Structure 1
């Protein structure tokens, strides 16, 4: 069974009931980091909550691209509404295997910092459904921990890749 999510735009990152933002420095160029984001097989190696990522659109990727991500508790169908090659991409979830959110979006921003390094800003916006709302502060801590861990693991992954 699939549960729908509503489409959102960039304003959702400022208005969503739950918002998360993490900023980390990565020892790689923005182009290198973006290539990691485009590699479906790389995601489970640094974003440990993800078991598998499959692009459901053909290359070249851009606005309108779709993919599916399998996480331990839920599968998410994603639609990219912003795509700036080697700089930024954003998606919203169109469907999910569990009734977790009415709306969910993620933004990946890569900015040059020092030569050869990138400042990565990872933003997540969520309008929870009852299941997540009932978790209260525990739900918030769970999501916050997952997103922080992903950023920390990405720092390690770019050093090995």
Structure 2
């Protein structure tokens, strides 16, 4: 059953009790990475293996996301800074013990490509916080795989254009 979470803002990404930050260099330029993150929302299922459904809601102001294993989230977009940042918070979730969750994707030009940084910020019960800390290596691997697949998808789409 979905439960309403705390309506956190962007500041939560820096102040959350559980914060995880992962980064990877992509060959794609920031504009292409931003388009894939913020404009091709339904395309997330093609490059982020954990995501089974991702679709815009509320005229693009939100998203509905379903994950492998049954996670289901309704989100509000917090920031859409073209070629620089895409961030959102989770408004409702079916994850037990979760009180607040926000994520931010930062894009920094790096050579001809992009340094992509994903920040995962959460709060919840003591048990959930402990589980998230244990899950850190797995989340890191999931991000690295997703970023690699995203870069490959962007390259393939560019070659077809």
Query: Does the alignment reach a TM-score above 0.5?
Result: yes
Structure 2 residue 16 is matched with structure 1 residue 22: no
Following TM superposition, by how much is the alpha carbon of 1:46 offset from its aligned partner in structure 2, in angstroms? 1.0
Matches of 2:147 and 2:17, distance apart in 1: 22
Structure 2 residue 89 is matched with structure 1 residue 88: no
Tell me what 1:33 maps to. Answer: 33
Following TM superposition, by how much is the alpha carbon of 1:71 offset from its aligned partner in structure 2, in angstroms? 0.5
Following TM superposition, by how much is the alpha carbon of 1:130 offset from its aligned partner in structure 2, in angstroms? 5.5
Higher helix fraction (1 or 2):
2
Question: Among 67, 70, 79, which residue is 1:71 paired with?
Answer: 67
Following TM superposition, by how much is the alpha carbon of 1:75 offset from its aligned partner in structure 2, in angstroms? 0.6
Change (3 A) 1:131 1:146: farther
Matches of 1:108 and 1:125, distance apart in 2: 12
Show the 5 A alignment for 1:125-136: 125-129=121-125, 132-133=128-129, 135=131
Matches of 2:108 and 2:136, distance apart in 1: 27
Following TM superposition, by how much is the alpha carbon of 1:109 offset from its aligned partner in structure 2, in angstroms? 1.1
Tell me what 1:47 maps to. Answer: 48
SS at match of 1:135: helix
RMSD of equivalent CA atoms? 2.0
Following TM superposition, by how much is the alpha carbon of 1:131 offset from its aligned partner in structure 2, in angstroms? 5.6
Following TM superposition, by how much is the alpha carbon of 1:147 offset from its aligned partner in structure 2, in angstroms? 2.8
Structure 1: gaps (5+ residues): none
SS at match of 2:83: coil
Tell me what 2:99 maps to. Answer: 102
8 A contact 1:24–1:151 mirrored in 2: yes
Range with bigger deviation, 101-110 or 139-148: 139-148
Cα deviation digits, residues 12-55 of structure 1 (max 9, x gap): 22221221111111111211111111212310111100001110
Aligned length: 155
SS at match of 1:148: helix
Matches of 1:66 and 1:140, distance apart in 2: 26
Range with bigger deviation, 150-159 or 32-41: 150-159
